Amino acid sequence: MNATGELSSSRDAGPVDLGSGVFQLPTDYPEVCNAPLWTYLLLDGDKFALIDPGIRSTMGATLEGSVRELGLGLDDLDLLLATHGHPDHSGGQSSWGVEAPGARIAAPLEDAPWVESFDRQWTRFWDDYPGTLDLSSSRDFLASLCVPEPTVDVLLRDGDSVAIGERMLDVVETRGHTWGHCAYFDRTSSMLFTGDAVQGRGIPSCDGATVFAPLYVDVAEARWGLRRLLALPFEWLCPAHVPPMMRDEGLQFLQASLDFIDEVDALAREMVSDRAPAPLLTSELAMRIGKLIGTDPPLTPQSVPTARAHLYALAREGLLESAWIPRGIEAPGG
């Protein structure tokens, strides 16, 4: 099992036993959104937890069958845990209400408003790039992945621990990808569940036609989070969109994620220097990021926030000044 993806992302693959009571479960996300995605099941006695339980349809499409295949009952579900508030990680949390009414819903404190309200998430993330990216035609589809939304029962902060039976997960805030993103370290297995904090140079689509660019909303926070993960004594790194990998490969993947941030930082600085004193548009840097890693088309909901994060970082250094360009006026050189 490695970052190049030897494990199938198909819903037909079935659960994979990673040892120590941890199982990797397939989801329907490859069919719905053309991206790999796995849910992790952690077992303690007759209770289990699910980390990042996919989108609204995932329970019925794959997870319910995987749980039964492992000989578990749906009412044994104790905890539904999201690493962050994006629909592919928290959208499936409310699907289990009828079948597992006793299951607690847990999410990072800062991302809980997004988990509980797609409208908030839409306003603060998906619809937050005026003049650069218009996702209004995708709003209904995105909402369908996570609405109706759950109520979060357990708010998680950095340094907290959350229990599944006697099994303890340590909460490690990583931020960067979202403002509240958290990873979870399982003391029993020494497995580290990183959600979308660790993205390397992007995630290849399931059909091989494109690459989803690394997404982060703040450069310094993304670096800080990755360095925190590097310092942890994990034996397995378990991202959401990439198959699990053992420690040495996991350390390399973490370093590749940091190297990508540095690469884009250098690219942004070069573009600012080449363009000065003319404006540099967010869309221009986003296009370069997309082309850098093979995203088709290059302007995407991943490349745009990452580009903006780098431009804001340079503005904080005093190298740029943010400005609006009136509609209909073309920026010099742009």
Question: Tens of pLDDT along 50-70?
Answer: 999 999 999 999 999 999 999
pLDDT confidence of residue 325: 75
Q: Which residues contact 241 (CB under 8 A, 6 or more apart)?
A: 35, 36, 37, 38, 196, 199, 203, 212
**DSSP-derived pairing of the beta strands 77-81 and 167-173:** unpaired
Q: Which residues contact 145 (CB under 8 A, 6 or more apart)?
A: 32, 55, 56, 57, 87, 88, 91
The pTM for the full model equals 0.94
- Tell me how crowded residue 52 is: count the other CB atoms within 10 A of its CB: 31
Q: How many residues does the chain have?
A: 334
pLDDT, tens digit, 9 for 90 and up, residues 307-319? 999 999 999 999 9
Go through the domains of the chain in sequence order and give each one's CATH number: 16-258 (3.60.15.10), 264-316 (no CATH)
Identify the three-state secondary structure at position 227. helix
- What percent of the chain clears pLDDT 70, i.e. is strictly above it? 94
pLDDT confidence of residue 331: 53
Average pLDDT, the chain: 94
pLDDT confidence of residue 7: 39
Q: With a cut of 60, say whether residue 334 has pLDDT above it.
A: no
